[in-house]
Chains A and B, each alone.
Chain A
Amino acid sequence: MVNFLQHTFNGLVGGAFLALLALGLAVIFGMLRVVNFAHGAIYMLGAFGAYVLLTEVGLSFWWALIVMPLMLALFGMALERLVVARLARLDPLYNFLLTFGLTLILQDAVKSRYGVQSSPYDAPEVLSGTLDLGAFDFPAYRVFVLVMAVAVCVGVWWLLSRTRVGMVVRAATERPELSTALGIDVGRWVTPVFGFGIGLAGLAGVLAAPIRAVNPLMGADLIIVVFAVVVIGGLGSIFGSVAAGFAIGLVQAWVQALGEHWALLSQVLVFLVMAGVLLWRPAGLFGREEAPA
């Protein structure tokens, strides 16, 4: 029982990263219809940025947690203005290829300077211990990651469902042309939404730095799983991607817990689940069928 709880907890922490990344992808896809392949590279930049801030500038984890998402959000907004927007009228494949190329550039740029070995990054002092939560001791930092991720997901949900800005973004996402005819300047929301999604990936990266190996390829390994998560949740569905993120994290941890030879299956499992979901519901668990254009 205690073991099961521990695996469940680890699954939720793993799911927290998937959920944060999938949430950013879903927000961006919903508004721009761009599948941002560079999302994994941004996550890596978040983690590396935290490492560089600490080792070269002397800024602590807490500073990195604020500075990196903001910097990357600004980077994302510039990127959207300078290149993504230019391809927006073309086939979505062009932006997919653009962000794929960008991924390779960012990875190699980091690789050429810091090499491929993992860089050590310690959790902040206050969170280095464990938290006694009854059944057993949880690593305090992982509890922090889970709390942060849940808080951010709830915050985004609140923003989208309870504020005027969220209402406008929902309208612009669902029916861009109708919304412009009703007086909404849809174009004005595209850049901030893109930056916001990128910022979420950066935040996930900073949170990952103390518990995941910080290296140039850390995002490339994760992003494929995140794509599967987004597809399972339903492309563009905010709630679906968050729910699927946590669910896949849990399932992976439980299967891993079955024993060593199950570890391989846990890697493949997400894609099996994706295939099954697609056969059963082609639009994903919470996705809506796209209306024929």
Chain B
Amino acid sequence: MLAYVARRLAMAVGTVLAAVLISFLLVHATDTSPGAVRLGPGGTPERIAAENEALGWNDPLHVQFFDYLGGFLQGDLGTSLVNGGSIAGDLADRVPVTAFIALFATILSGIVGVALGVTAAVRGGRVGQLITTGAGVALSLPVFWVGIILVYLLAIQAGLLPATGYVAFADDPAGWFRSLTLPVLALTIGGGAIIARTANAGMREALAQEHIRTLRAMGTPEWRVRYVHALRFASVPVVAVLGIQFIALFGGSVIIENLFALPGLGQAGQAAAASSDFPALVGVVVVATVVVVVINLLLDLVVAVLDPKVRTA
């Protein structure tokens, strides 16, 4: 168990380092420069060169990399080339927005997906067919299109929820919840479909196991066979896919934040990409990776609790 946790922790640290390194290298592959970005179209070549020198852009790559890493460890992600503000400060406000959307969507996907997938596996027949086909279609739908359709149906036609915009939790908790509902629903349609397929496949596999036959031969009540034993067996792949889903939903929230005008990490990433704000870009990638890695570490612990083979290894 300890070795398992240590291994997962090492992986987490490695992943964050890789994120820093990859985004750092990407940014240096540009054919423009931070000086040019900061000065805008009015910058003369001389001033751009001076600006780049001042930003340390001409230092050897490894020096810049370790400088950045040093700053990162102290919570300093540099300043924006566009508005000169602290990137860490800006992102600190944004992380909760994106994290809550992705977390709620993952949890809701898990609940809806497991319910549907298990029903499909246990009932089989027409109901099962309907659920698996429906899930196949749902996971193929573009999330932004689904989002707009939900806005049309639930906000415009039914008038149940605000179409777009964000309300801070501190200002109005109920309004905050309502402002997140549509984005979370939009992400859940595809995410829930994927979990439904995983849960369906896992549950069918579980019900075909030899130990399930042993339980039936012992006269174990059918509900216990299904919902204690088979479901526990199927839960391990489902949790693993939930982790991957969280990563995907966290990335997918870029689009959802754009559509619903939510001040999250994705919106910052989009703006930074559009304006080539390099330090902000690196900051967004690194912070997003940290969040994703932490959530996945927690899910690894859940797997360890669920699966004795992991726990006793």
A and B interact physically: no
Chain A residues packing against B (C-beta within 8 Å): none
